Amino acid sequence: MNKKSMILRTPLIVRFCHWCMVCLFILTALSGLSLFFPSIKLFGLFLGTPQLVRELHPILGCVVFILLMFMFLKLAHHNIPNKDDLLWIKNFKHVILGKERGIPIGKYNVGQKFLFWCIMGLILVLFVTGLIMWRRYFADNFSVPVVRIAIFFHSLAAIGLILLAIGHAYMAIWVKGSIKGMITGYVSRAWACKNHSTWYEEEMEKIYQEELKLKAELKTEQATKPE
Ligand code: HEM
Residue 108 alpha carbon, nearest atom of ligand 1: 41
> Do 175 and 200 reside in the same domain of the chain?
no
Say yes or no to pLDDT of 4 above 80: no
Q: Do 30 and 43 meet the contact criterion of CB atoms below 8 Å apart? A: yes
The pLDDT score that the predictor gives to residue 96 is: 85
87 within some domain: no
How far does residue 128's CA lie from ligand 1's centre (Å)? Answer: 23
Write the CB contacts of 148 (distance below 8 Å, at least 6 apart in sequence). Answer: none
Say yes or no to pLDDT of 40 above 90: no
> Do 38 and 16 reside in the same domain of the chain?
yes
Determine whether the shortest distance from the Cβ of 120 to ligand 1 is under 6 A.
no
Q: How many residues does the chain have?
A: 227
Q: Do 40 and 33 meet the contact criterion of CB atoms below 8 Å apart? A: yes
Give the whole-angstrom CA distance, residue 67 versus residue 61. Answer: 10
Determine whether the shortest distance from the Cβ of 165 to ligand 1 is under 6 A.
yes
Domain total in the chain: 2
Q: Pick the closest to residue 107 from 200, 199, 181, 188 (CA basis).
A: 199
Ligand 1, atom 14: nearest CA belongs to which residue?
Answer: 178
> Do 216 and 175 reside in the same domain of the chain?
no
Determine whether the shortest distance from the Cβ of 179 to ligand 1 is under 6 A.
yes
Give the whole-angstrom CA distance, residue 158 versus residue 164. Answer: 10
> Do 118 and 45 reside in the same domain of the chain?
yes
Residue type, 44: G
Q: What is the mean pLDDT of residues 116-120?
A: 98
Burial of 44 from C-beta contacts in 10 A (0-12 / 13-18 / 19+): buried
How far does residue 218's CA lie from ligand 1's centre (Å)? Answer: 41
CATH code, domain carrying 121: 1.20.950.20
Choosing from 18, 57, 78, 168, the catalytic residue is 168
Write the CB contacts of 51 (distance below 8 Å, at least 6 apart in sequence). Answer: none
How far does residue 197's CA lie from ligand 1's centre (Å)? Answer: 20
pTM assigned to the model: 0.93
94 included as an active-site residue: no
4 within some domain: no
User: Residue 219: which domain range?
Assistant: 187-227
Q: Do 146 and 170 meet the contact criterion of CB atoms below 8 Å apart? A: no
> Do 201 and 111 reside in the same domain of the chain?
no
DSSP output for 29-48: HHHHHHHH-TT-GGGTGGG-
Q: Do 71 and 99 meet the contact criterion of CB atoms below 8 Å apart? A: no
The pLDDT score that the predictor gives to residue 3 is: 67
pLDDT tens per residue across span 134-187: 999 999 999 999 999 999 999 999 999 999 999 999 999 999 999 999 999 999
Determine whether the shortest distance from the Cβ of 181 to ligand 1 is under 6 A.
yes
Q: How many CB atoms lie within 10 A of CB 197?
A: 18
Tell me which of 31-45, 107-121, 209-223 is least confident.
31-45
Give the whole-angstrom CA distance, residue 95 versus residue 101. Answer: 9
Q: Pick the closest to residue 116 from 104, 128, 107, 105 (CA basis).
A: 107
Determine whether the shortest distance from the Cβ of 178 to ligand 1 is under 6 A.
yes
